[in-house]
């Protein structure tokens, strides 16, 4: 798959996941806001009904008290006869005439055990039915007059009762407004009414409340009410029609409101987590794909370069062998020695390249065991310098060594650490500048608990982008042609692995065109 296609698919998937995640978050937020608005409306409706119930209860209580008081003060013996009698009137139009009847009934008298009514009985009167023919206008006028008289008496009775009720209500208002707020609102009634109204509106979470005057003086308060968080309370005025100094205010808090709102959108949380997991999985998969693609490219580069590295000595060995087998040539001792030397040198070169590959393979299989022992690192480095000095001098280079350690001993593997120093020096030879003689500087010194080693050269240097990748397996710094630099891209990866197994660190400092410095740190306390 082409790299451009991979990036296009990755971009599409990333945009899709981001859009889906943002849509899910937006929906959760909108749902939460809607739930809170519904809750606010339910609370306001409940508090309004509570205030209404309080006012109704007060009106009922004081009305009953005033009526009872007026009944006790009334003289029922002086009531008019009309109060003890009831009249029944009926008008029937049938066969072209009106029929009018009227009856007067006394009030019911309580019966004694013998079944006889106590006291004097008042007889019942029933007026005879009157047939009122349509043509007789005189009787019709008389009937109308009697009807108007009865209506007038009923109106007078209604007005008398209305004035009585008005007086009761007026006395109730005067009495209630003069009483204090604790006398007008019962704490038990307020508590039960709040609970009932909240349950009726679907609010079944814990709440705390307080009843205060309009000036803020606390009348009643539940045990856990927080007077500091007034802004989080729902307020409702009680006795709204009274003067401001007679009004009360009910404030209610819901300590678990946030949890209640969060639970309303809690069912969406698993989907959000699932989307996040998918995004992470996709990102990790994309990372693996790109990494695998990079490794594949480096392996292909490695195979091509290895083919080139192996092809040269094999071709040389093959040519020398053909010359030795050629019977037409006069093989003098000098010629035989020359051909044998060529074959020997190219064989060593081929074996050295193969050993590099095998070394890295052993580390990958973790089949190589480091044999750490305390050794003089300065002495080891000095031996490598003496061996490598001849190669450097053959290309016109120089090596300077500065051993400044007070304690040169550290735990190290003799063979592998020797290969580390050799690879770093050989790397300096590969990347030397053509117009400047190679100059190597090797220095050792001590830091608290550490043995420090630096190997610096004056070569071509490394770009900052390449500096982060030089310890990656199969990675080589190219200067143009794929095969312009010898090697497989395994040397520095091998060095990094060996130093890590020694529990040490290695870093590179370089400036393009001014050379490169490798700094190694080895622990001396064997931790």
Q: What is the pLDDT of residue 170?
A: 59
Task: State how many domains the chain has.
Answer: 2
Same domain for 32 and 157, yes or no, is yes
Q: What is the span of the domain harbouring residue 451?
A: 369-523
Same domain for 388 and 253, yes or no, is no
Q: Which of the listed residues 212, 235, 264 is the one where a domain comes to its end?
A: 264
Same domain for 376 and 252, yes or no, is no
Q: Note whether residue 95 is domain-resident.
A: no
What is the Cα–Cα distance from 124 to 137, expressed in whole angstroms?
31
Query: For the chain, which ranges sit under pLDDT 70?
Result: 1-3, 66-67, 70-71, 73-140, 143, 158, 160-178, 298, 301-302, 305-306, 308-309, 312, 329, 349, 352-353, 355-369, 473-490, 526-527
Phi/psi of residue 88, each to 5°? -125, 125
What is the Cα–Cα distance from 289 to 179, expressed in whole angstroms?
83
Same domain for 236 and 377, yes or no, is no
Q: How far is CA 122 from the centre of its chain?
A: 88
Q: Note whether residue 350 is domain-resident.
A: no
Q: What is the pLDDT of residue 61?
A: 77
Q: Note whether residue 213 is domain-resident.
A: yes
Q: What is the pLDDT of residue 504?
A: 92
Q: Note whether residue 355 is domain-resident.
A: no
What CATH number does the domain containing 465 carry? 3.30.565.10
Same domain for 259 and 385, yes or no, is no
Q: Note whether residue 390 is domain-resident.
A: yes
Q: Which of the listed residues 248, 264, 280 is the one where a domain comes to its end?
A: 264
pLDDT in tens, 277-297: 888 888 888 888 877 877 777
Q: What is the pLDDT of residue 103?
A: 46
Q: Which of the listed residues 239, 264, 289 is the one where a domain comes to its end?
A: 264
Which DSSP state fits 524? S
Q: What is the pLDDT of residue 78?
A: 44
Same domain for 174 and 45, yes or no, is yes
CA 223, 227, 230, 235 dihedral sign is positive
Q: Note whether residue 222 is domain-resident.
A: yes
Q: Which residue bears the tokens 């001098």?
A: 393
What is the Cα–Cα distance from 446 to 451, expressed in whole angstroms?
5
Helix (H) or strand (E) holding 98: strand 97-105
Q: Note whether residue 122 is domain-resident.
A: no
The model's pTM is 0.43
Phi/psi of residue 149, each to 5°? -65, -45
Nearby residues of 502 by Cβ (< 8 Å), 6 or more positions away: 370, 372, 411, 412, 413, 417, 522, 523
Q: Note whether residue 506 is domain-resident.
A: yes
């Amino acid at each position: 798959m082409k790299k451009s296609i991979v990036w296009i698919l990755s971009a599409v998937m990333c945009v899709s996941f981001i859009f889906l995640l943002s849509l899910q978050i937006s929906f959760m937020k909108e749902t939460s806001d809607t739930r809170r608005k519904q809750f606010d409306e339910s609370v306001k409706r409940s508090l309004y009904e509570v205030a209404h119930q309080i006012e109704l209860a007060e009106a009922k209580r004081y009305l009953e008290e005033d009526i009872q008081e007026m009944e006790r003060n009334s003289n029922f013996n002086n009531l008019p006869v009309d109060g003890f009698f009831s009249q029944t009137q009926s008008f029937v139009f049938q066969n072209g005439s009106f029929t009018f009847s009227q009856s007067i009934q006394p009030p019911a008298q309580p019966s004694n055990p013998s079944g006889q009514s106590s006291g004097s009985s008042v007889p019942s009167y029933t007026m005879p039915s009157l047939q009122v023919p349509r043509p007789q206008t005189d009787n019709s006028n008389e009937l109308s007059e009697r009807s108007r008289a009865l209506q007038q008496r009923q109106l007078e009775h209604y007005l008398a009762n209305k004035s009585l009720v008005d007086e009761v209500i007026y006395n109730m208002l005067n009495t209630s407004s003069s009483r204090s707020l604790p006398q007008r609102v019962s704490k038990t009634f307020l508590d039960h009414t709040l609970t009932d109204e909240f349950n009726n509106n679907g609010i079944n979470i814990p709440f705390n409340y307080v009843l205060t005057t309009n000036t803020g003086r606390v009348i009643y308060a539940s045990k856990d009410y927080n007077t500091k968080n007034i802004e989080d309370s729902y307020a409702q005025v009680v006795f709204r029609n009274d003067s401001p100094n007679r009004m009360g205010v009910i404030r209610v808090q819901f300590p678990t409101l946030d949890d209640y709102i969060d639970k309303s959108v809690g069912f969406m949380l698993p989907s959000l987590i699932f989307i996040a997991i998918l995004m992470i999985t996709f990102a990790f998969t994309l990372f693996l794909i790109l990494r695998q693609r990079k490794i594949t490219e480096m392996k292909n580069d490695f195979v091509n370069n290895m083919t080139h590295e192996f092809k040269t000595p094999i071709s040389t060995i093959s040519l020398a062998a053909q010359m030795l087998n050629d019977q037409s040539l006069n093989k003098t001792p000098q010629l035989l020695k020359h051909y044998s030397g060529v074959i020997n040198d190219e064989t060593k070169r081929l074996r050295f390249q193969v050993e590099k590959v095998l070394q890295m393979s052993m580390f990958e299989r973790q089949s190589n065991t480091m044999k750490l022992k305390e050794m003089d690192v300065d002495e080891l480095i000095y031996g490598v310098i003496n061996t490598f000095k001849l190669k450097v001098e053959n290309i016109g280079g120089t090596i300077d060594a500065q051993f400044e350690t007070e304690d040169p001993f550290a735990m190290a593997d003799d063979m592998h650490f020797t290969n580390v120093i050799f690879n770093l020096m050989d790397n300096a030879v590969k990347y030397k500048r053509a117009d400047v003689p190679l100059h190597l500087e090797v220095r050792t010194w001590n830091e608290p608990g550490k043995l420090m080693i630096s190997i610096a050269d004056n070569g071509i240097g490394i770009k900052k982008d390449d500096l982060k990748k030089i310890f990656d397996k199969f990675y080589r710094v190219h200067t143009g042609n794929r095969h312009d630099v010898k090697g497989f891209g395994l040397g520095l990866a091998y060095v990094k692995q060996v130093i890590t197994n020694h529990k040490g660190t290695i870093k590179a400092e370089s400036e393009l065109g001014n050379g490169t410095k490798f700094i190694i740190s080895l622990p001396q306390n064997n931790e």
